[in-house]
Structure 1
Amino acid sequence: MTSPVHTTGNAVPPLDTDLAGALDDLDGIHPGIDLIRDGIRLLALDRHTVDGTQTLLAALAGSAGADAITAIGHLVARLANADHNPALRNLPLDAQKTAQRHGEQAAFHLADPDLHQPASEASATITGT
């Protein structure tokens, strides 16, 4: 006989103050950021399986080059590049190049395998590999 999952002791707890505060700080910046906030909130408050949790850890931050952190790094580089973001084209050329360089550095650092290693190890621990 299995235990019921919908008991008080098995309830998904509310957001902790750190995560809730971080999401609140991002409120109203852009509809795309609001969608990201909603997705993070859903992921944090949804009920997951063990296998699903393992996959989420890898997809969020545990697979350098193929996870959400890497995608955000590529987005930062794109937004900081006047060739891809017309809003920057009226800036002085040196400011455009500096913004582009910093965006590229952000993408490089956010793709660093060392940054992804702890989430990868958490994911691997769950699967037992």
Structure 2
Amino acid sequence: MATADPYGPVHTAGNAVPPLDPDLADTLDDLTGIHAGINLIRDGISLLALTRHTADETQTLLATLAGSAGADVITAIGHLVARLANADHNPALRTLPLDVQKTAQRHGEQAAFHLTDPDLATHASEASAAITGT
């Protein structure tokens, strides 16, 4: 007995995953070649955008990317920005004048503060909840 396809009938043009929209494609192109880690992030975003997902997977992805304040990708990026801008964690900054180090650190901390603000997660969280009707 054949099992039900969790993605439904996929062999129609209407069910094809569309190519990247210009805004996302252009942004990913702009990030090319900066660092191997950024290339991995680009590849991951592209994979997520071009892969067929179930509604449940979509709900989880929305929450994981930006809708679960404190436990989402945006929060992780906020903490990474603060770390990279702090000479205590990034030896490349230790040769800079102390006032420059402190300014970079302050801006990194402010970026992390804003990127980890629970209000930032509201819309992605609501989109995720809307999928299941909760």
Instruction: Find the aligned partners of 1:73 and 1:102 in 2 and give their Cα distance.
Output: 11
In structure 2, runs of 5+ residues without a counterpart are: none
CA drift of 1:36 comes to 0.1
Aligned to 1:17: 22
Equivalent residue for 2:41, pick from 27, 36, 39: 36
Q: Secondary structure at the match of 2:32?
A: coil
Aligned to 1:101: 106
Q: Secondary structure at the match of 2:129?
A: helix
TM-score, normalised relative to structure 1: 0.97
CA drift of 1:40 comes to 0.1
Q: What CA deviation, in whole Å up to 9, does each residue of 1:15-70 have, x standing for no partner?
A: 00000000001000000000000000000000000000000000000011000000
CA drift of 1:95 comes to 0.4
Q: What is the one-letter code of the residue matched to 2:28?
A: L
Structure 1: 4+ residue segments shifted above 4 A:
none
Equivalent residue for 1:122, pick from 123, 127, 134: 127
TM-score, normalised relative to structure 2: 0.93
Instruction: Find the aligned partners of 2:54 and 2:123 in 1 and give their Cα distance.
Output: 20
CA drift of 1:5 comes to 1.5
Q: Secondary structure at the match of 2:69?
A: coil
Aligned to 2:58: 53
Q: What is the one-letter code of the residue matched to 2:122?
A: Q
Instruction: Find the aligned partners of 2:34 and 2:46 in 1 and give their Cα distance.
Output: 16
Q: How many residues align?
A: 129
In structure 1, runs of 5+ residues without a counterpart are: none
Q: Give identity over the alignment, percent.
A: 82
Instruction: Find the aligned partners of 1:61 and 1:110 in 2 and give their Cα distance.
Output: 10
Q: Secondary structure at the match of 2:112?
A: helix
Larger deviation, residues 40-49 vs 3-12 = 3-12
Instruction: Find the aligned partners of 1:72 and 1:95 in 2 and give their Cα distance.
Output: 22
Instruction: Find the aligned partners of 2:128 and 2:26 in 1 and give their Cα distance.
Output: 25
